[in-house]
Amino acid sequence: MSLRAVKGMKDILPDEISKWHRLERAFRECVEAHGFREARFPIVEPTALFVRSIGETTDIVEKEMYTFTDRGDKSLTLRPEATASAVRAYVQHSVQGREPVTKWYYVGPMYRRERPAKGRYRQFYQAGIEVFGDPGPYVDAEVIDLVVGFIASLGITEVEVLINSIGGPETRRKYTAALLAYLEPHRDELCPDCQRRMGANPLRVLDCKVPRCGEIAADAPSMLKHLTDDDRAHFDELQATLTTLGTPYRVDGSLVRGLDYYTRTLFEVLGKGEALGAQNALLGGGRYDEMVKSFGGPDTPAIGFAVGLDRLLMAMPEVEPEAHVDVFVIAAQPTVRAEAALLGRELRDTGLRVESDLRGGSLKSQLRRADKMNARIAMILGESEVAAGAVQVKDLLEKTQQTVFRKEAAKRVHEILD
C-alpha cells in the first residue's frame, strides 16, 4: 500500500523552504521592529475555547474544526486560529498584572477542514500579532500601517486595504434589529444555514459564500450608519491617523470577518494578480475588545491580525534561491576523506555553513553537486594539499581558484563572502 499525505495537507521540501524562510524572516524583523515579542501556544486546545471565542454559528465551528475526544474523555480541537489561544494564555498567566500593554506575535500551523483550493490547505500556516491593553484608535492605525509595510517589504505591490467598523455592543444591538428587519422578507431565499443564523447571529448572513445570500447581503443596511457617537469618533480618528501616516485604505461598509469576537475596527488586505485566483484575501484582522473579559480576565481592549503564509508565498515575486551552504568540501582522493571531514568541522567552528560528499566520486561530479547546492566556495583537498598543509579554494561565482594554507582557509572564505 502506498501511503500519501492527508488530503489538503502537504509536504514542504527543501527546494521550497528558502522562500518560506525569507517570508518568516521578513515578518519577524517587521514585527520585532514594532516592539512585538514571540509567544508560542499549544496546537491542541479544549474545544470549548474555540466555540466560545469564534462562535457556535460560524462555519469554522460548525463545519471545519478537527475535533476529537481523547482518552481522558475530553473534547479537544486542533487550533483553527491563534487569537483564542493568545487570549487564553494572556488570562491564564495574568499577564495584565505585569505590563500595561502586551504585544505578542506568533508563527505556526493551523487546521481547518475546508474544501482544498488554490492556496488553501487543511493544514495551513499563519503569522499574526495581538495587542492587549490599548483601546486605540491610534494603535489600530499603527497595526494597519505595519501590515502595509510588511507586505511591501516582500515585493508585493498590488494590494488594496479595506477598513470598516462594526461598533461595540450598543451598535451591534441597534444594527442587528435593522438587519433582521431587512432580512425577514428574504428568509425563504436564504440558504438553510443563514435561515438558522438569523436566530443566532444575523451578522453571519453577511459573511455567507452562497451566491444568492451574497446578493441579498449586498443590499443590507450599512453598519456605518448605525454607529454610536463613540464608535463613530473612534472610526473617524482611525481614518485621520491613517491619512497622516500616508497609509492607503478604502472604507468598505460591507466588510465583515468570519469570527464572532470582533468589535469596532475591521480590516482586510486584498491582493491582485492571476497567482491568487478568485480567493484574493491576503490577511485580515480587527479589534476584539470583549474577549478577554469573556474568558474571565479583566476588561481589556485588544486588536490583532493573522496572515496566511501559503497565500503570501503565492503573491510574492520569484527570486533567486538562497544558497544553503557557504562551502562545499571536496575530497580529491579516497585517502583524504577523513581529513576532508576534519576540514569541514574546522570551517563550521568559524560560523560557516559547510557540506561535503564523502562517498567518493570524481572531482567533476563533486563540483557539479557544489553548483547544484548554490555553494559559493568549493574547497578541494587532495593528498598533496594534506602533505603541504594547504587547500585549494575555488570561487564558483567569480570562477577563480587559489591555494592557501589550511590554517588561513576559513579567513579567506570569510573575506570572499564579505
Sketch the domain layout of the chain as residue ranges. Answer: 14-168+228-315, 327-417
Cβ atoms of 375 and 326 closer than 8 Å: yes
Distances (CA, A) of 206 to 55, 83, 329: 15, 22, 61
CB distance 58 to 200 below 8 Å: no
38 and 104 Cβ atoms separated by less than 8 Å: yes
For residue 192, the 8-state DSSP code is H
Tell me the three cell numbers of residue 343.
576540514
Residue carrying the nine cell digits 477598513 = 163
Provide the β-strand partners of residue 331. 381
φ, ψ dihedrals at 401, nearest 5°: -145, 140
Q: Is the peptide bond before 135 cis (omega within 30 degrees of 0)?
A: no
Q: Do domains 14-168+228-315 and 327-417 have the same CATH topology?
A: no
- Rounded alpha-carbon distances, angstroms, from residue 297 to 130, 286, 301, 342: 16, 20, 11, 57
Short-list 34, 77, 56, 260, CA closest to 169: 260
Q: What single DSSP character describes residue 222?
A: P
Residue 174 carries which side chain, given as an amino acid letter?
A: K
Rounded to whole angstroms, the Cα distance separating 308 from 310 reads: 6
pLDDT at 344 exceeding the cut of 60: yes
Indicate the pairing of strand 159-165 with strand 250-251: parallel
Task: Tell me the per-residue pLDDT of 183-219, one tens digit each, with 9 for 90 and over.
Answer: 999 999 999 888 888 887 888 888 788 889 988 988 8
Phi/psi of residue 186, each to 5°?
A: -100, 5
Q: Domain 327-417: which CATH class?
A: alpha beta
pLDDT digits (tens, 9 = 90+) for 373-404: 889 999 999 999 999 999 999 999 999 999 99
pTM of the model: 0.85
CATH numeric code, 14-168+228-315: 3.30.930.10
pLDDT recorded at residue 111: 94
**What is the model's pLDDT at position 136?**
87
Minimal CA–CA distance to 134: which of 102, 106, 167? 102
pLDDT tens, position by position, 273-319: 655 555 678 899 999 999 999 999 999 999 999 999 998 998 888 87
Helices 83-92 and 47-54, axial angle in degrees (round to 10): 110
Q: Report helix, strand or coil for 57.
A: coil
